[in-house]
Amino acid sequence: MGPKVIIHGGAGSALHDQGGLAAVRQELHAIVDQIYQRAKGGHRAVDCVVYGCQLLEDAPRFNAGYGSVLQSDGQVRMSAALMDGQIQRLSGVINVSRVAHPIDLAAHLQGAEDRVLSDVGSMELARELALPLFDPITDLRLREWMQERANHFQRAMAGVVAEPDPQARRGTIGVVVRDRDGRLAVGTSTGGKGLERIGRVSDAATPAGTYATPQAAVSCTGIGEDIIDECFAARVVIRISDGMAPETALAKSFAEATANQRDFGAIGLTQGGDILWGKTSDVLLAAYHTGETLGDTLDQPHGTQMGRIAA
């Protein structure tokens, strides 16, 4: 079996601007194809995930790396995690500033003894690695924050993608790859919810948002608190790893999330090559490569939906 790839660029309310939707689709398809080509060339799943996260972190449309949302104090603090399913190892950074690719720090920490670092430790590591200082704030995100400041921060969080649509909310990026040798890896990177209080911790660098075993790998996007309360990525992955059929694991986990009125989406892959996605939110911006075709979830109806593209 050849490689499989699924990525996401956030979940949340509807994107009202159809032009915005078309642009998101084009960008997600281009990126998922670039990751697939790399995996097809024989690169390991974990390397393909880092590469894919870098591409998404570079895209200012998405809330990770360049284009991250601003927190309540007008600063950007980003979180990212990488998990290699083959060796079942998670590494990550929480609330790091002034780097272009938080996923690079997570990748470096795969080989470290202390594998999840918070703000001060992450900045220290960035200095140690001599990463160039990088300002991830875009004009649009800054204008969005200034508007909120003028409105006395009426909104609870910022936009899912960088487009001037006040209804579009919540973002993160995620990449899951099954390489041609059947190894799985997953990465998630985020600027957080936006407008949150200083020190708030996202789900991204926890097993709730990013989790993988040799059998399955999942990345989540949406309201971090909801994802943590369901411990969603680990919940789905462990169910599949314990032998539950992937479609049953997905259906059971999303039924629970819906009953608990959670607001998020998730993407995943199994060792057997099944592509999985699901959401309780209105939209999930996900795209996948089956090895033969490209597809996405952008036109799905609002509310709880899920899908499995069998190997």
83 is an interface residue for ligand GLY by CB under 6 A: no
Q: Kindly tell me which residue out of 126, 208, 223, 269 binds ligand GLY, with binding defined by CB under 6 A.
A: 223
Which of 237, 226, 244, 90 shows the shortest CA–CA distance to 156?
226
Give the interface segment with ligand GLY, choosing from 132-140, 219-227, 232-240, 299-307 (CB under 6 A). 219-227
Confirm if 38 and 51 have CB atoms less than 8 A apart: yes
Q: Pick from 203, 263, 274, 282 the residue near ligand GLY by CB under 6 A.
A: 203
Asked if 141 is part of the footprint of ligand GLY (rule: CB under 6 A), the reply reads no
Identify the residue among 206, 221, 281, 290 touching ligand GLY (CB under 6 A).
221
Question: Is residue 224 part of the contact set for ligand GLY (CB under 6 A)?
Answer: yes
Active site residue 297: no
The Cβ of residue 106 has, within 10 Å, a number of other Cβ atoms equal to 32
Please give the order of strands across the beta sheet that includes 216-222.
Answer: 210-212, 216-222, 264-270, 275-279, 305-309
φ, ψ for residue 111 (rounded to 5)?
A: -95, 10
Q: With CB under 6 A as the contact rule, which of the stretches 12-20, 197-205, 232-240, 295-303 interacts with ligand GLY?
A: 197-205
Sorted by sequence, the CB contacts under 8 Å of residue 69 that are 6+ apart come out as: 63, 76, 141, 144, 145, 157, 158, 159, 171, 191, 192, 193, 194, 195
Compute the distance between CA of residue 155 and CA of residue 195 in angstroms, rounded to an integer: 8
**Given 97, 110, 189, 202, the residue binding ligand GLY (CB under 6 A):** 202
* Of positions 61, 193, 262, 289, contacts ligand GLY by CB under 6 A: 193
190 is a site residue for ligand GLY (CB under 6 A): yes
Q: Which residue has the tokens 């939209």?
A: 283
Please list the active-site residues: 172
Q: What residue ranges bind ligand GLY (CB under 6 A)? A: 172, 190, 192-193, 202-204, 221-224, 227
